[in-house]
Chain A
């Protein structure tokens, strides 16, 4: 049974580390709502990918991943641009809300219209047990990319996080980091979706960062706390799910919430 779980377990742990790195960025930039919108656009991508694999009779995990990624990245680019252009305008949050509703509605209309056979529950809340070798290596590759981007531009990220219009960053640099962040977010969210589905993705991106921002004593401590929180909450969630035969995504999200409440009270 353990070997059956080996790749899913490894994938989940790697994804938790990625979430731990990205989460403080998402929370401190006030992108929690945007993260929600991106994750819901991933549902649209999943449904289109599922339809394509049935219609054109392919079952490659990679092909599914890239179709979902393409749809999500396009939506994310649109959101990233809107966020940058409209941040000082009234109702910019309203536009994100409209986008979220639109992608969600379109997803369910397509699901019904295309008469898809895929289980709606696993689509909405993910199923990590379906992960195989490809998912594991994709997650590993993604961890390498996110980690490298963080290390390479660490000082620039700090300035971007504190004030992206700061004179220490040129407009080009600021713009580059902005779109890079959104690209990392979209590629990560597409990977997380297998673990916990579009409905719970935001738990991974919000809870560890919120906790770390509350408790961290310095900038490096912020990321260390967030990664450790994400790692242990995911590990506990996986163990909980394994022993009680409970949905993995729901178990991890529950553990994140319990950890958060407990650690904030301490």
Chain B
């Protein structure tokens, strides 16, 4: 990958805090996002991972520093961790695709539904779907509706079973390899993160920026404030 890196976004000395009286959530953060890469972001709760997504997506502005977009028409699609969708409305999965997904999309609807194991749920009401199925449904929608160059996924594997996780990871590989997209995803599931991403950005009291191979014993304890064996036990790296 290192031979032909095309920068898409440059984050230059970005600091951010929500209010003047607050401490900085992100401080002097600098990195570049390249075309056709999968970038994993990891860090403890409250270290500014989702805030970084909002900054990249222009929902927030940096307190200082700048984010430079190489192409001003760069499009981003975001799958948020928090979902305000009202599942009490008796929409079926079919209705959902009718009203929330444009008829002409880059992808084949059936193809996405099959990859995300949603084909059999078409007649089901959204309120009857499991948490994991709902996550996958919104994932399908993000993929179907957007012609984005960059996909931002905030904890996409939360609440999804092992098979579903594998399918999602397969899907982002297709996004990268077949469609040349860039994927940035925040994930606490370290094994998935390491398996799929080209580079890992660790946000914490100190920002670490690592190629996957350097993601070693030294970094994890620092990141999660506990010893390496303890992390290994839970994550089976």
A: residues with CB less than 8 A from B are 28-29, 155, 158-159, 161-163, 165-168, 213, 216-219, 221-222
Contact = CB atoms under 8 A, between A and B. Distances in A.
Interface stretch (B60-68, B92-100, B164-172, B226-234): B92-100
Contacts of B163: none
B90 A219 contact: yes
Contacts of B90: 213, 216-219, 221-222
Given A28-B89, A158-B89, 17 more contacts: A29-B86, A155-B99, A158-B91, A159-B99, A161-B86, A162-B85, A162-B99, A163-B84, A166-B85, A167-B145, A216-B90, A217-B90, A218-B91, A219-B90, A219-B95, A222-B89, A222-B90
Nearest to A217: B90
B212 interface: no
Nearest to B77: A167
Contact of B88 (A28, A166, A167, A221): A28
Contacts of B17: none
A201 B36 CA distance: 58
A165 B82 CA distance: 12
B91 A219 contact: yes
B129 to A, nearest CB: 14
Given A159-B100, A163-B84, A166-B100, A218 B95 contact: yes
A252 B29 CA distance: 64
Contacts, number: 50
Nearest to B146: A167
B27 interface: no
Contact of A218 (B84, B85, B88, B92): B92
9 A-B pairs with least C-beta separation: A216-B90, A158-B99, A163-B85, A162-B86, A163-B84, A219-B95, A222-B90, A162-B89, A161-B89
B48 to A, nearest CB: 21
Nearest to A167: B145
User: In this complex, which of B84, B92, B100 has the most chain A Cβ atoms within 10 angstroms of its Cβ?
Assistant: B100
B188 interface: no
11 contacts: A28-B88, A158-B91, A158-B99, A159-B99, A159-B100, A161-B86, A162-B89, A219-B91, A221-B90, A222-B89, A222-B90
A213 B88 contact: yes
Contacts of A216: 90
B125 to A, nearest CB: 7
User: In this complex, which of B83, B88, B99 has the most chain A Cβ atoms within 10 angstroms of its Cβ?
Assistant: B99
Contacts of A158: 89, 91, 95, 99
A158 to B, nearest CB: 5
Contacts of A166: 85, 100
Contacts of A222: 89-90
A46 to B, nearest CB: 33
Interface string B94-109: 0100011000000000
Nearest to B78: A167
A168 B146 CA distance: 11
A213 B87 CA distance: 11
A162 B100 CA distance: 10
Interface in B116-131: 125
A158 B171 CA distance: 29
A161 to B, nearest CB: 5
B194 to A, nearest CB: 31
